[in-house]
Structure formats: C-alpha cells, structure tokens
Structure 1
Amino acid sequence: MESLERYIFRQAAVAFVGGLFVLTLVVWITQVLRQLDLVTNSGQTIALFFLMTSLGIPVLVTLIAPISLFMAIVQTLNKLNGDSELIVMAAAGVSPVRLMRPFVMLTVLVSVMVGVLALYLTPSSIRYFRQLLTQVQANLLTAIVRPGQFTQADRGLTFHIRDRAPGGVLLGIVVSDSRDPALQMTYVAERGVISEQPQGTFFVLERGNLQRREVKDGSTSIVVFDRYAFDLSQLTQAAETIYRPSERYTYELINPDPADPMLERWQGRFRQELHDRFSAPLYPLALMCIAFAMLGHARTTRQSRGAAIAAAIVAMALVRGIGFAVSGMAATRAWAVPFVYAVPLSGIVIFGAMALGWFRPRVPAAISRAVSDFSDRIAQRFTERFASGGQA
C-alpha cells in the first residue's frame, strides 16, 4: 500500500471506527434503559444486568457497521474534495481504481467482520441471552420476591415480602399456604433466604411463627421457631428453552433437525434467517460502491456536492430498504430467496461500474439544477442560522 493509499485508508478507518462506536453506544444505551426492570423488579445483580445487555452488541454492530462504513466513506470523500485533494489527485493522474483501492480494502475488512458476526458471534450471543433470560424468569427471586406485593406462586400459596436486603436476605415475610383444603398454614418471619440444596430448594425462615388452623373445627395452634425450612422444590421445575431461528447456530439452520417441533412452525423464518446471514457481508460492498459512485470524482468548488450526497443517501436507503422487504418476502415465499442476494449484488455491479467510470447515467439538467439549488439553499440557511447564533 502506497503512502497515498495509506493516507486515505487511515482517514476512512478512523471515521468508520468513530462512527461505529458512537452509533452502537447510542443504540445500546436505549436498550439498557429498556432492560432496567431486570434489576429493579427481578432482584438481579448489576453484573448480570450489564452482561445481558452487552450480549446484544454483536447484533447492533452487524446492523450498524455497513451504515457506519457508508457514512465514513462519504465523509472522507467529501473532505478530500473540500480540501481540493481529489482535484490534485485527478490532475496528477490518479485513476479511479487506485483511489478506490483503500476504500475496497477497508470494506473487505468490514465485510469479513460482518460475516463473522452474522454467522457465528451473533447467534451465539443471542442464544446465551435467551438462556440467561430463561434462568431469570424461572428464578424464584423473580417469581415470588417482589417487595410490597402479594404474589401467588401456586394455587393456594401466596407470598408477601416487605423488603429485600443485600446478600439475598428477605425481610418481613408472610407465607399463606392453603393448598391442603383441610388445613390453613400461615408463616410469619422476620427474615429469610432462598437456599439451593442437593435435596431441593428451600425457603429458610428465621425468627418467626407458624399459625396452623384446622378448617373443619376452626382450632388454631401457634408454633414459634428460630429457623424453619419451607420446601419449594415443587415450584422450581426446570424451564424449557425454545430457541427462535435467530438464536439457532448457522449449522442448525443449514441442516435442521427433522424432529424439531419448531421447524414446521417456523420453516419460513428458518429460511429467512439463514439467507440473511449469508447476504449480510454483501451490503458493506454495495454501500461502499454507492458512496464512491456518487462522491468519488473530483468536483470544483463551484460544483455543489450537496446533490451528490443526497443522491448517495437516497440510493443507500433504497438498497437497504428493498433488502429488508425482500428478506421479509423470503420468510413466506421460497421463490424470493434469490432476490435476497440479488439486491446487494445489483448495487455492487451497477454502482461499482459507475464508480469506475464505465458508465454514468444522464440526469436531466432541470432535475440536477433543482436538486443542487435546493441543497445549496438548505446549506446556506444553516450557515446563516449558525452565524446569527454566534453573533448573538
């Protein structure tokens, strides 16, 4: 790689990494805020909370990386032209192929990263998230320990917890057990903990009393205890985890188990997920070709690049939007599968040919002038607004 190519590659790579980090952080924070009830309502630790929310980062990066690459290439090309570097390169005889080479190298790296994420890391992280979520939902601390609420864990069995202390200690415990129609049992304790033992799961109550009432004759007896183990084993059945297509490993989608009861129910989604994963690495290449086709040629300072940037954004949105639409069709129609690959490949071929100068569609002069004038007016309005704000 020559010094010129290293210079361009470095600028584009820095812009890509910065944009990817910022966009991923913003989206991840929104996911964190949505999952706050995992800590506030379920009694889970902060470490588990951040682990579960961080497992969604590979999914975010897979979706955001192509967009970040597109933005980085647009920014780099616009900066090179704004500093008249593209004009100098063109005057020095730098061919479009040579100018495009560092962007292609960066795009190949991003495509490999997206492919690894889509095929391996993303399904593994989502699958692990599902396992943790199932454990949380099956955990008794989630099911019955909600401070200030009466929670029915089973028919005739109700729990009430006044508060929760550090270390899993529960305070102000009331348990009403009327599962036996002939007997009413009420447990009251100052504190307690849930203990997992080889013999089963027990709610260990401390410093309390047991009120036993016979329903038939109404007789009541009270037993005071320092420590009492309430058996919860019947309530702690292992939860069955059903993995969705997005949570299956790639080899499970390629060769699904015929005995899988979910295969018939989700056959279309299995197909959609599989081809989405294999087509994901094609989109960075398609978006790179779009950005370079629209902005990779030198323009003088009198030639507005606003229209070119707007056209690049529109083309990118169309290609990605059509890709999402075709992916949805593949879930219900098997004949739509080839189009899942045809959309990004068409973008690569058409805009790649435009980027290399093999052909350039002729836009009517009136439309080109109108778009350029509109972009210039918007840019001028923003410039005037910022200038007036600075003077104020």
Structure 2
Amino acid sequence: MGSIDRYIFRTTLASFALVLVSLTGVIWITQALRGIDLMTSQGQTILTFLGVTSLVIPALVLVISPIALMIAISHTLNKLATDSEIIVMNAAGFSPFRLFRPFIYATCVVAVLVAFIAAYLAPDGMRRIKQWDAEITADVLTNILQPGRFAQLDQNLTIRIRERQPGGLLVGIFIDDRRDPKERVSIVADHGTVVKNEGGSFLILEDGNLERFEIDKRDPALVAFARYGFDMSKFSNQGHDVALGIRERYLWELISPPDDDPVYLQLPGQFRAELHDRFMSPIYPFAFAALTFAFLGAPRTTRQSRNFSIGSSILAVFGLRMAGFACSVMAVKSPFAPIVQYLMLLLAIGVSLWIIIGGIVIEPPASLIESINNANARLLRLFGRPATA
C-alpha cells in the first residue's frame, strides 16, 4: 500500500469511525430512554440500566455501519475533489479504479466487522438482553410488588411496600404470612433489599418486628430484629430457561438448527430470512461503497457541481437498502426472494464497477439542467427584488 493509499485509507476509516460513533450514540440514546423505567418503577441501579441498554449497540452498529461507510466515502471523495487532488492524481496516471483501491481496503475492514457482529456479537447481545430482562421483569420482587399496593403472592401470603428507592432498596415493608395453618406471622420492617445466591432469593429485612400468633397460645410472641431473611425462592424466576427467538441465535445455530427445535418447526420461513440477512450483511458495505464511488469518484473540476452526484448516490443507496428490506420480508414466505436480493446486490456492484473501470462521469441530463434553470429564472422574475435607481 503506497502513501496515497494509506492517506485515503486512514481518512476513510477515521471518518467512518466518527460517523458510526455519532449515529450509534444518537440512536442508542433514543432507544435507552425507553428503558428508563428499569430505574424508576423497578428500582434498578444506573449500572443495570446502562448495562442492559448498551447490549443493543452491536445490533445498531450492524445496521448503521454500511450507511456510515457511504457517508465516510462521500466525505473523503468530496475532500479530495475540493482540494483538486482527484484531478492531480488522474493527471498523474491514476485511473478511477486505481483510486478506488484504498476504498476497497477500507470496505474490507468494515465488512469483516459487520460479519463478526452479524454472526456472533449482535445475537449474543440480544440474548443477554432477553435473559437479563427476564430476571428483572419476570421476578415477582420487581414486577408484582408495586409501592402502595397489597400484593397477594400466595393464597395466604400478602406483602406490601411503601416505596422503592435507588439501588433496589424497599422501604416500609409489611408481610402477612398465613401459609402455616398452625400459626400466623406478621412482619413489619423499616427497609429491606433482595439478595440472590445459589440458595435462592431472599428478602433481607432490617430494623423491624416479627409478631407470631400460634393457635394453642393466648398471647402472640413479639420479636424485634435488626436483620431477618425471608425466603422468596418460590416466587422467583431464578433458574427458569429463557426461550430464544430467531434474532438471538448465532449464525451457526441458524445454519443447522436442531430438528426438534419448536421455533424452527413453527417459523421455518423466518429462519430462512434471518439466515440470508446474516449472509448479506457484509455484502452491503461493498455495494454501498461501489455505488458511492461510481457517482462521486470521477475527476471533476471545481466549477462542476457535485450536488447531483451526491443526491443520486444517496437515492441509489437508499433504494437498494429499501429493496433489500422488502426482499427480507418476502423471504419469510418465498424462498426465491433471497435469490433476488443476492442478484440485486451483485448487479449494483457490477454496474458500479463497470462505471468506475470505464471512467464514466455521471452527469444530469441537459434537459434536466435546462428545466432547473428555467424554473430558477421564473422564480427570480416572480420574487426578485425590483431594480433601484
């Protein structure tokens, strides 16, 4: 790799990283705000909130990476054109395809990143979200116990908490336990926390009183305690298996699912669509890069407008991606839709390479330019300021 190639390669990857981090950060914030109830209504810590919401980042990067690459290539080519570097390199003997070579290197890096995320990282993050969400939302201690309400966990067990505080602290706890027919236990505690370990789930009560009524005794037994453990393992979801969806499967699990997999038996079309989406994920960066360079990579003088080429490249990339989404939806019912999607990507890459190798400059038609100029002239006549003496 020569010095020019290294310069373009570094500029493209630096722009790609900046755009990727920016877009991912913005979208992640919008997604994370939807899970803010983990801290407010369910008493989870800020670390739990950030941990759960950050697991969706690989899935976001998987979708954003090809778009970020297109923006990075557009920025790099526009920078080279503004500084007249493309014209100088073309005069020095650089063909458009030779100029495209460092962009291919950058695209290969992005494609490897996308392939790794699609095969392992994104599904791993999604299954961790599902497992973590099951532990948080399906557990009775975080789902049923709502502040100010009497929750009847069993026919003869009632619990009430006054409020939740940050860090999972439960304040103002009342427990009425009548599960044992020979006695009735009432517990009042100032506060408590939930502890989970290998032995199960326990509600650790602090600074409270325990009142025990036994059938054969006239007076109740009253005990003041500083710390008391109330077993809640029966009402916890700890140890329950979490059913994995299609997006939570690794690539090799989609390629060869078990014959008795109930999800595969019920939704074979969605398995097929997801599998082909994973295969095509690293192809999209090459298609986007080729399309972008085909519109913007040809040498132009600084007097030639690049607005039409920029707009055309955006429309081409947008149309290709929307068509890909449509094929992914149709692939659920039709096994031929993925074939159409593969052919569409290969056609986009092939036509783009033909334009690049042939040195074809994509310019707007003369009739379109004339129509735009006439429209501008009419607008100037209608809204232009009158001449002053």
TM-score grouping bracket, smaller chain normalisation = 0.7 to 0.9
Task: Say yes or no: does 1:225 pair with 2:226.
Answer: no
More displaced 10-residue stretch of structure 1: 366-375 or 350-359:
366-375
- Report the alpha carbon displacement of residue 274 of structure 1 after superposing the two structures with TM: 0.8
Q: Distance in 2 between matches of 1:73 and 1:365?
A: 27
- Report the alpha carbon displacement of residue 195 of structure 1 after superposing the two structures with TM: 4.3
Q: Residues 286 and 173 (structure 1 numbering): CA distance in 2 closer, same or farther, change over 3 Å?
A: same
- Identical amino acids, percent of aligned pairs: 42
Q: Summarize the alignment of residues 89-238 of structure 1 with structure 2, pairs less than 5 Å apart.
A: 89-155=89-155, 157-164=157-164, 169-177=169-177, 186-196=186-196, 200-206=200-206, 207-210=208-211, 222-227=220-225, 229-237=229-237, 238=239
More displaced 10-residue stretch of structure 1: 145-154 or 233-242:
145-154
Aligned residue identity for 1:128: R
Q: How many residues align?
A: 373
* Contact 1:330–1:340, Cα closer than 8 Å, also in 2: no
Match of 1:309 in 2: 310
> Which deviations, in whole Å up to 9, do the C-alpha atoms of 1:331-375 show, x marking residues without a partner?
122221212322222211112211222767786421255468989
> Which deviations, in whole Å up to 9, do the C-alpha atoms of 1:174-216 show, x marking residues without a partner?
22456689987643333334444666444344522437599xx
Q: Summarize the alignment of residues 1-392 of structure 1 with structure 2, pairs less than 5 Å apart.
A: 1-155=1-155, 157-164=157-164, 169-177=169-177, 186-196=186-196, 200-206=200-206, 207-210=208-211, 222-227=220-225, 229-237=229-237, 238-357=239-358, 364-370=365-371
Aligned residue identity for 2:289: M
* Contact 2:20–2:64, Cα closer than 8 Å, also in 1: yes
Unmatched runs of 5 consecutive residues or more in structure 2: 377-389
* Contact 2:327–2:337, Cα closer than 8 Å, also in 1: yes
* Contact 1:163–1:172, Cα closer than 8 Å, also in 2: yes
Q: Distance in 1 between matches of 2:315 and 2:268?
A: 34
* Contact 2:291–2:316, Cα closer than 8 Å, also in 1: yes
Q: Distance in 2 between matches of 1:198 and 1:275?
A: 41
TM-score w.r.t. the length of structure 2 is: 0.85
More displaced 10-residue stretch of structure 1: 172-181 or 21-30:
172-181
- Report the alpha carbon displacement of residue 85 of structure 1 after superposing the two structures with TM: 1.6
Q: Distance in 1 between matches of 2:119 and 2:150?
A: 45
Q: Distance in 1 between matches of 2:191 and 2:68?
A: 53
SS at match of 1:158: strand
* Contact 2:290–2:352, Cα closer than 8 Å, also in 1: yes
Q: Distance in 2 between matches of 1:373 and 1:69?
A: 36
Q: Residues 339 and 178 (structure 1 numbering): CA distance in 2 closer, same or farther, change over 3 Å?
A: farther
Unmatched runs of 5 consecutive residues or more in structure 1: 376-392
- Report the alpha carbon displacement of residue 146 of structure 1 after superposing the two structures with TM: 3.6
Aligned residue identity for 1:304: S
- Report the alpha carbon displacement of residue 246 of structure 1 after superposing the two structures with TM: 0.5
Q: Distance in 2 between matches of 1:242 and 1:197?
A: 23
Match of 2:386 in 1: none
Q: Residues 44 and 20 (structure 1 numbering): CA distance in 2 closer, same or farther, change over 3 Å?
A: same
* Contact 2:202–2:233, Cα closer than 8 Å, also in 1: yes
More displaced 10-residue stretch of structure 1: 34-43 or 64-73:
34-43
SS at match of 2:295: helix
- Report the alpha carbon displacement of residue 114 of structure 1 after superposing the two structures with TM: 0.6
* Contact 2:43–2:165, Cα closer than 8 Å, also in 1: no
SS at match of 1:331: coil
Q: Residues 308 and 259 (structure 1 numbering): CA distance in 2 closer, same or farther, change over 3 Å?
A: same
TM-score w.r.t. the length of structure 1 is: 0.85
Aligned residue identity for 1:159: I
- Report the alpha carbon displacement of residue 325 of structure 1 after superposing the two structures with TM: 0.7
Aligned residue identity for 1:347: A
SS at match of 1:356: helix
